[in-house]
Amino acid sequence: MVGPKDDFVFCALGGLGEIGMNAALYGYGPPAKRDWILVDCGVSFAGDDLPGIDLIMPDLKFIEGQKNRLKAIIITHAHEDHIGALLDLYPRLGAPPVYATPFAAGLFDIRRQNEQGAKRIKLNIMKPGDRLALDPFEVEIISVAHSIPESTALAIRTPLGTVVHTGDWKIDEQPVAGWSTDSKRLTEIGDEGVLALICDSTNVMREGESLSETDVAKGLAEVISKAKGRVAVTTFASNVARIRSVALAAKELGREVVAIGRAMDRAIQVATECGYLEGVAEFRSPETYGYLPRDKVICLLTGSQGEPRAALSRVAEDQHPDVTLSAGDTVIFSSRTIPGNEKAVGRIINGLVQQGVEVITDRHALVHVSGHPRRGELKQMYEWVRPKTLVPAHGEPLHLDEHRKYAIACGVPDVVMASNGDIVRLAPGNPAIVDEAAHGKLYKDGDVLAPAADPAIPERRKLAFAGIVSVAIALDSKGELLGDPAFAVSGIPQVDRAGRSFEDLIEEAVFAVLDNLPKSKRRDADLVETAIEKAVRSTVNHSWGKKPVCHVQVVLI
C-alpha cells in the first residue's frame, strides 16, 4: 500500500561524475522516514596529488545517521570500485545483511583474512533469478556480462514502480568465464514497466558493440604462438576469463603458466573453487619459473596499471626475486590503461623496451576488450527495458552528458542528470532532484580513515612541494640564548643560485630575529616562534622561490 507521502528516490554517494567509488542508495517511504538499500560500496585509487593516500572511499555519513533504516547492502560484482570499501565502512553501518555472488564473496573473504584485525562480515550468497525480500523493496538479481565473473544487474521493485540498476555490464554471448547478459529477462521486466534505468556510461563515447572475450582468447593465442622466448601476460587479476584464455592457449602451445602476485593467486583460488578454471592445467609457482625452458613458459603478472609494488613493475626494474625477462621475450598488456595511469604504465613499458623485450598492447593486436557497453549495446538495453527515465551513472561528467544526448536521440523520454549527493525522486510524479544528501570522500591513510577536510592532506601535499624546516632554541628567563639553535632541513636544495648554503641562510635569519627583538619580548615564546617562522620562510622564499613548511619550538628555561 502506498502512503500519502511515500516516494521512491535514488541517491549516489559515489560513482556519479567519476569512475570508481560506487555507492548508490535507493530509498522508499515518507521523506522523514525512508527505508534504504545500499548498492555497492567501492573505492577509487589515489593519484599523485594525494601523497601517502592509498585509497579513496565514499563518505557514508548520510546513511550512517539512518543506519537503523538500512535494509541491506547488495554488491553487484567483485571489482574493488564496487566492493573495496566494504571492509572499512561496514562497521559504521550497524549490521545490515550483505548480499553478493559466490565469486565476490570468495574474493572478499580472502581479502578480509589478509587484513590484520579485520572483523568477519557474513555475506549472504545470491544468484541470478533470486528475489530478495527487503520490505518495502523486492530486488531481483539479473546476470550480466562484464570483465569479471558473476556480475549482476538489479531490478528494484517498490509499490511505486521498478528501477533497473545495471551495474557494470556489456553484451557478450561467449564470455569464456562467467555469465552472459540476460536479455530475455530484461525484456520481460521492460514489459512489466520500468520507471527508471540507472545505467553504466563508461564507454558511451565509443560506437558499435564490444567484441567478445572469445575474440580476445583467439588474439592472445595468436600472439603467443609467434613468440620465440618467454611470454608474460599482465592483466587485472580479477579478469578470470583472460586468465582462462591464457591457460588454454598455453595448453595448446605446450607452455606452462606461472602465476605471479598475491592478487593473481587469490583470484585463481576463488575462480577454481567456483569452477571457472576447469579443463586447464594447474598453475605453477614462481619458484619454478627459472627452471622452465624459455619457449615453454608463460607468466601471468599483476601490475597492468603501473602499480609500483606489483609484480610487473619489479620485473621491469629487474628487481623481482623469481622472474626475469631479457631480449627476445614478450610482454602482453591484456588491459587498457585507466586514465591517470598513463605515466606509470609508460615507465614500465620503457623499462621493458630498454631490456630488449617486445611489448604488445591492444594497439598492436586484439589482446583486450572492455567490460563496458558501447553505444550499440546501450541502445539494445534501452530497447529491452524501455525506461521512462534514464539516470546516467558510472562515468565522468563528459561521459554522463554524452549518455544524456545519446539516450534522448534513441527516444528515451526523460533523462535526469544527477551528481553525487543529489536525491532524485523517481516516483510519484515526474522525476526530479528534490534534495541533497551529505556526501564527500574519506581517505585511507595507512590504517586511518581521514575526512577530506583533514589538514594532513594539504599539509602533506605542501611538504612534497616545498620541504620543511625545523628550528629549536632555548632561552633563559632573561631572554638570553642558551646554546646554539638546532636546525633540521628536509626537501630543500643544499645551496641557492649564488652557491650559499640554505642552512647558513636559515641560521642567519634566526640570529637576526633574536638580535632585533628586545629581551623583554624574547620571554614570550609564542611571539619568538612566530617571528622566527616568518623570517625563515621569507629568507628561503627569497633565495629559492618557494616557502617551506616551518616548525619552530622555543623553550624557556
The rounded percent of the chain whose pLDDT value lies above 90 is: 79
Structure confidence at residue 337 (pLDDT): 84
Distance between CA atoms of residues 381 and 209, nearest Å: 12
Classify strands 137-144 and 131-134 as parallel, antiparallel or unpaired. antiparallel
What is the number of residues in the chain?
Answer: 557
pLDDT band at 104 (very low <50, low <70, confident <90, very high): very high
| Contact status, residue 400 vs residue 206, Cβ threshold 8 Å | no
In this prediction, residues 266-290 reach a mean pLDDT of 94
In this prediction, residue 317 carries a pLDDT of: 86
Burial class (CB in 10 A: 0-12, 13-18, 19+), 518: exposed
One DSSP character per residue, 160-174 reads TEEEEE--S-B--S-
Tell me the pLDDT band of 152, cut-offs 50, 70 and 90.
very high
Alpha helices in 23-145 (DSSP H): 61-64, 80-83, 86-89, 102-113
Q: What proportion of the chain, given as a percentage, has pLDDT over 70?
A: 100
- Starting from the edge strand earliest in sequence, which strands make up the sheet with 44-45, in order? 44-45, 55-58, 441-445, 448-451
- Which domains does the chain show, CATH number per domain? 7-208+370-448 (3.60.15.10), 213-360 (3.40.50.10710), 456-556 (3.10.20.580)
Per-residue exposure over 280-307, b if at least 16 CB sit within 10 Å of its own CB, e if not = beebbebeebeebeeeebbbbbbbbbbb
CB-CB contact of 289 with 258 (8 Å): yes
- Give the C-alpha separation, 83 to 42, whole Å: 5
Tens of pLDDT along 171-210? Answer: 999 999 999 999 999 999 999 999 999 999 999 999 999 9
Instruction: Give the residue-averaged pLDDT of 363-383.
Output: 96
What is the pLDDT averaged over residues 448-453? 87
Per-chain mean pLDDT for the chain: 93
Q: Which class for 469: exposed (0-12), middle (13-18), buried (19 or more C-beta within 10 A)?
A: buried
Find out whether 237 and 283 touch, Cβ atoms under 8 Å.
Answer: no
pLDDT at 557: 84
What's CA 421's distance to the chain center, in Å? 19
- Please check the confidence at residue 433 and state whether its pLDDT lies above 90: yes
Cell output for 254: 605446450
Question: pLDDT value at position 23?
Answer: 98
Going by pLDDT thresholds of 50, 70 and 90, the confidence category of residue 461 is confident
In tens, the pLDDT along 315-344 reads 888 889 999 999 999 999 999 887 778 888
Which pLDDT score is estimated for 22? 97
pLDDT band of residue 413 (cuts 50, 70, 90) is: very high
pLDDT number for residue 310 = 87
Most confident of 53-62, 303-312, 412-421, 468-477: 412-421
- Sorted by sequence, the CB contacts under 8 Å of residue 350 that are 6+ apart come out as none
532 burial class (0-12, 13-18, 19+ CB within 10 angstroms)? buried
Is the pLDDT reported for residue 273 higher than 90? yes
In the block, which residue shows the cell 502512503?
3
